[in-house]
Amino acid sequence: MATYAPQELAVALKDGLLSFPVTPFAGDGEIDEALYRAHIDWQSSFAIGGLFAAGGTGEGFSLTPEESARVVRLAVETAAGRTPVLGSAGGNTAQAIQNAQAAEAAGAEGLLLLPPYLTECDQDGLLEHASAVCAATSLGVIVYNRGNAVYSAQTVARLAERHPSFIGFKDAIGDIEQLTRVHATNGDRLFYLGGLPTAETYALPLLQLGLSTYSSAMYNFAPEFALAFYRDVRALDRAAVTEKLSQFVLPYLDIRDRTKGYGVSIVKGGMKAVGRDMGSVRPPLQDLTDRDREDLSALIDAAGIR
């Protein structure tokens, strides 16, 4: 049973760095439960605001519903109350409801609602999809604004009016006008977090638009660097943020952008570089090439992150 009521969870999450733990796979492609527990234990040992299990960086898109539920349960058990653990819900509406209810049964504190599995949908259909998931669980729900799930300010307001358990808006589009409209329309009714790939790149300007936090993928292998970066953002220390961007984040992006799908692969490459190998990614993703892994390892060394 969740420890936090939905609005209490929003308060707990809005002023702390968030992250998505990677899911380790053994040589046969199966989830390595012991390695996952060790990773969650390490990730929970820092002052992190919350962890999203079975999310994007956790390759939730490649997990079966049963695997997703297992990963969430392992994360909840291992974090043991040190930090809130949230589950993820994706796919069609029925599958998203299944994910949501399984996450709640596993003891998750909240839920990230991923885009539905459709080539396209309009606002009324998107509202009903999100509303069905909110109605199916007592957990606090955060919608993920990305892909085919681009929520208008009015749709967000209608969802908030229907469901007190709808608590957050995560953005991976970066449309300044849309973010301005969503925040101006909904105000403090929700909390807002950044979810663009390698969110550190956009964190400082998005803070000015009301996105008080973001999800850091690099926290997986560089927790102290990621937390220091977040503190600099919240302190509005532009010089410190720019230094860290130049020192590590932007060169990291250069490696990430060499191949499509490297957003997750490079995080697992970073785990290997710091001596915490989490195995390979599942297809259709692909692991870093030897050259890319060597370049990443050198960058980590040069930045003093290892």
Helix (H) or strand (E) holding 225: helix 223-234
Question: Which SS3 state, helix, strand or coil, does residue 111 take?
Answer: strand
- pLDDT given at position 1: 65
Q: 98 vs 64, 65, 67, 141, CA distance in Å? A: 11, 7, 12, 14
Q: What is the mean pLDDT of residues 103-115?
A: 97
Mean pLDDT in the chain?
A: 97
Catalytic (active site) residue 170: yes
86 residue type, one letter: L
Residues 162, 181: Cα–Cα separation, whole Å: 19
pLDDT digits (tens, 9 = 90+) for 175-184: 999 999 999 9
pLDDT at 5 over 90: yes
Query: Which residues have C-beta within 8 Å of that of residue 216, sequence separation ≥ 6?
Result: 17, 18, 19, 199, 200, 226, 229, 230
Cα gap 135→152, rounded to integer Å: 20
Question: What pLDDT is attached to residue 119?
Answer: 74
Q: How confident is the model over 243-292, as pLDDT tens digits?
A: 999 999 999 999 999 999 999 999 999 999 999 999 999 999 999 999 99
Which entry of 4, 36, 144, 252 is annotated as an active-site residue?
A: 144
> Residue 261 has what pLDDT?
92
The pLDDT, as a whole number, for residue 118 is 75
User: In terms of Cα–Cα distance, which of 63, 55, 74, 52 is closest to 29?
Assistant: 63
Whether the predicted pLDDT of 102 surpasses 90: yes
d(CA 274, CA 219): 12
Catalytic residue among 170, 244, 268, 272: 170
pLDDT band at 132 (very low <50, low <70, confident <90, very high): very high
pLDDT at 306: 73
Residues linked to residue 285 through DSSP beta bridges, in sequence order: none
Q: Output the CA–CA distances (angstroms, integers) from residue 112 to 129, 239, 272, 302, in the order listed.
A: 13, 33, 27, 35
pLDDT digit string, tens, across residues 50-73: 999 999 999 999 999 999 999 999
Residue 258 burial (CB count, 10 A): 13
Condensed to tens digits (0 to 9), the pLDDT of residues 6-45 reads: 999 999 999 999 999 999 999 999 999 999 999 999 999 9
144 carries an active-site annotation: yes
207: tokens are 């803070």
pTM across the whole model: 0.96
Among 108-122, 137-151, 258-272, which is the least confidently predicted range? 108-122
CA–CA distance from 59 to each of 21, 153, 225, 267 (Å)?
Answer: 9, 29, 23, 11
pLDDT per position as a tens digit, 164-198: 999 999 999 999 999 999 999 999 999 999 999 99
